[in-house]
A and B are shown apart, each in its own frame.
Chain A
């Protein structure tokens, strides 16, 4: 009924997130030294979806890409242990890594997608440490590809993808042509545990090293972080006796 020749290659972009957030004492950012990283949960879901599509024989190859310093390789290995075929580590370290944001990552992804001739890019909908929710959308825009974001259900049908999206009003079903960008939402699937044999097989899978310059990507940030601070401490409330008191207090604090 449908050809499985169309979707040959999927790129997934799992990236690692900080497991605990603390603001630096000088309010310039968040502490990253010595903080454990792990794969972003939405990205785990994205990797799982790609591997499932490969298991259904709808696509031929899953490539896991991660941008960051040396530790990013661990995230790629986890993706390989879940079933991705090979990895690409885009080396971004030091100052560049601190200012690496969705715009830079999507430029890298766009360049890689063209280089690898991918038909589908699947990412997590957002990172749980910065909550940007931009990389997928920006990548689609740069490539001029259709996007199916907040996906809770994905099905391939020839060269089209049917995506059920979770939106504020409920669920929206769209059909888009490949090549396309999808972002995974929570209910898309439940990521598998890597099995011990797969972890061992992952050791033999290749991870290629690439520099952003090789892809012709300029990493300069258009944003400057002025200040990072914690939300204000919760203040105690005030109890009032009558409705008049309440109205009075609200007027006092300028709420009405």
Chain B
């Protein structure tokens, strides 16, 4: 296929803004100058706009240029993530006394949305890392917080969230990994599946069974890499999310100190679910960023591509629909973030609704954007296909969209 050059350049996020910016190649800000209806800074406070600006700049300068390479070579970009951590992105909603940035869930959503425009897969991993750091910060005692959180906030150490098993995905409470108490140790046996970062990360937040069946028998343990009995499966080959390794995590008589337990025995499932409420907002925010990037890519393409004697932009109801769904999604995520921050009674349902609606709609937006690129959209030279592949999994993990429906309907039907 011909003419890859100029279209490829345009396919990078936003075109060069004015001639002088080409001189300033190390600080290309790739947002459009004209304020438009999908501008993600509307409705934010001045401070949030500053956070968003830093995140957008970081995404454009440090992530977007490498997004394709990280995907194709399956590189886990440790150095880039550490740079992000130095700006405070390692523990965004972790408390400052252990090195976090102490920001709100809404601030966090705004930041992940912006970072995602640079690379969804890497941002999604950063959000999982943040979720784990928050769980230790919130449910750990002071010794645990001081031991683990500072390194996590700086990303000196990386974290993984271990809930899913080969036999328990949506039915998470039926997990089988056991942790038998022996003096001041727990002996872990079992395996976890699809663990993001597994094998390359240092700290594993593991939900395991210390008691009887069901959610009340589950506890949460922090397991450090290098513990004898902890090993990993092969690196999975995935459709997307390739800048993070995914492996099974295997426990064979793995001895973990009891002092590594977060909270009391039997509280693990609750801790896991509370972590996921925030995780769902974060994942939805990542989908938002991808959709935003794709709407801009589609728009740029439509202004350039000519068929039947005119540019495609003369025919633009599809783009308007995509923009509308994008803004609707954004409003829902931000409201859910605010509800979670304020501890509102509807927070859990709203987080589920946001995750369900936004991951579905944004996937459709990105998919539609690919369609608008025609044949070029199918080439890996163009970023749009990577956004589509990367956010497809958001409809599946952190609770499938089917599980989201279960949570919402349970809330509806219990009230009656």
Enumerate chain A interface residues (CB-CB to B < 8 A).
Answer: 18-22, 34-36, 38, 41, 44, 74, 77-78, 81, 128-129, 131, 186, 190-191, 193-197, 199-200, 202-203
A residues in contact with B238, CB < 8 Å: none
**Distance A105 CA – B54 CA, assembled complex (angstroms):** 28
Q: Closest 10 A-B residue pairs measured CB to CB?
A: A20-B33, A19-B33, A196-B88, A128-B20, A196-B101, A199-B50, A41-B24, A195-B87, A34-B35, A36-B33
A residues in contact with B57, CB < 8 Å: 193
By CB atoms of chain B within 10 A, which of A18, A190, A200 has the most? Answer: A200
Q: Which of A19, A44, A190, A199 contacts B32 (CB 8 A)?
A: A19
Give B34-49 as 1s and 0s: 1 = Cβ < 8 Å from A's Cβ atoms.
1100000000001101
Please tell me if the beta carbons of B87 and A193 are within 8 angstroms of each other in the complex: yes
Give B196-216 as 1s and 0s: 1 = Cβ < 8 Å from A's Cβ atoms.
000000000000000000000
Also in contact, A36 and B101, with CB within 8 A (given A44-B27, A81-B50, A191-B27): no
Q: Is B17 an interface residue (CB 8 A)?
A: yes
Q: Is B75 an interface residue (CB 8 A)?
A: no
A residues in contact with B51, CB < 8 Å: 196, 199
B residues in contact with A193, CB < 8 Å: 54, 57-58, 87
**Distance A196 CA – B17 CA, assembled complex (angstroms):** 27
Please tell me if the beta carbons of B54 and A194 are within 8 angstroms of each other in the complex: yes
Question: Chain B at the A interface: mostly helix, strand, loop or mixed?
Answer: helix
CB distance from A185 to the nearest CB of B (A): 10
| Total contacting residues, chain B, CB less than 8 A | 31
CB distance from A19 to the nearest CB of B (A): 3
Residue of A nearest to B58 (CB): A193
Enumerate chain B interface residues (CB-CB to A < 8 A).
Answer: 17-18, 20-21, 23-24, 26-27, 29, 31-35, 46-47, 49-51, 53-54, 57-58, 86-89, 92, 96, 101, 103
**Distance A196 CA – B20 CA, assembled complex (angstroms):** 29
Residue of A nearest to B26 (CB): A190
A residues in contact with B101, CB < 8 Å: 196-197, 200
Please tell me if the beta carbons of A194 and B33 are within 8 angstroms of each other in the complex: no
CB distance from B310 to the nearest CB of A (A): 19
By CB atoms of chain B within 10 A, which of A41, A186, A203 has the most? Answer: A41
A residues in contact with B86, CB < 8 Å: 195
